[in-house]
Amino acid sequence: MKLETQHLSLGYDDKIIVEDLNLTLEMGKITTIIGSNGCGKSTILRSIARLLKPKMGTVLLDGKAIHTLPSKIVAQQLAILPQTPTAPEGITVEALVRFGRYPHQKFLQQPNVEDNTAIEQALEQTKMTEFRTRSLETLSGGQRQRAWIAMSLAQDTPILLLDEPTTYLDMKHQLEVLHLLEELNTKTGKTVVMVLHDLNQAARYSHQLIAVQNGQIMAQNTPELVLTNQVMRDVFGIEAHLILDPSNGKPHVIPFALAVKK
């Protein structure tokens, strides 16, 4: 399995957000796209997920242009959890998770043993089994996010894309979601590609970081090699102390001033 972009240019109407992007995502790892607001992080993720058609260039899935592949084929290979997903009013957790099986079903096919097994596993992995009959709107923010992730897991794809999965969650629920993604990667080898704002969380939970500025990749490597003082200045416009987190040995960013423009 290989997912990459070649000379990718993206935008909305006449405005170009990303230009000539060449990117290869490492399979079986957790990769996080970081950068300041409006730099093109979510735009890149949406294009990789085939939600945004390129202006130029292409996204390749196993060497084939993703925008030319049938939707069902793509949905069997990658799942996307957007920043603010919406669901029908009153839908239960189990009903939501069942949506994840649609790419694997034929027209008018009833759920089979494989579907039911995938749903049960997704509920169990996300610790949502006890909430299966609850309607989505009665859950806490963290529980709702786990329900959406369960739907993505039921889709049973090797690649999982998430756009700011910790947005609007308190610190405890943020950690719950990130721990879950780390566990999925460790235990099942699932490739996780996500957008995060919190640099310390990105460093803690990622094998690789991609720092983006103005639609261009400024750095792509391990957290130790990406989170440098130069990247803090060039990409985020801040001065920061960079120390090692004593709990995990990963870089920890402590901002203390705005970078002086030269």
Structural contact between residues 83 and 26, judged by C-beta atoms closer than 8 angstroms = no
pLDDT tens figures, 60-71:
999 999 999 999
Instruction: Provide the percentage of residues in the chain whose pLDDT is more than 90.
Output: 90
Q: Which residue has the tokens 């889709």?
A: 155
Choose among 166, 154, 217: nearest CA to 190: 154
Q: What percent of the chain clears pLDDT 70, i.e. is strictly above it?
A: 98
Sequence-distant (≥ 6) Cβ neighbours of residue 179 within 8 angstroms: none
At a CB cut-off of 8 Å and minimum separation 6, what does 107 contact?
none
Mean pLDDT of 192-209: 98
Give me the mean pLDDT over the 4-20 stretch: 94
What CATH number should be reported for the domain whose range is 1-77+158-174+181-227? 3.40.50.300
Per this entry, what is the length of the chain?
262
List, for residues 85-100, the tens digit of each pLDDT value.
Answer: 999 999 999 999 999 9
What is this structure's pTM?
A: 0.94
Q: What is the pLDDT of residue 120?
A: 97
Confidence class of residue 9 from pLDDT cuts 50, 70 and 90? Answer: very high
Q: Which residues pair with 111 in a beta bridge?
A: none
Mean model confidence pLDDT for the chain: 94
pLDDT digits (tens, 9 = 90+) for 157-186: 999 999 999 988 899 989 989 999 999 999
Q: Is-contact 162 195, C-beta < 8 A?
A: yes
Strands 238-244 and 56-61 turn out to be unpaired
Domain extent listing, the chain = 1-77+158-174+181-227, 91-156
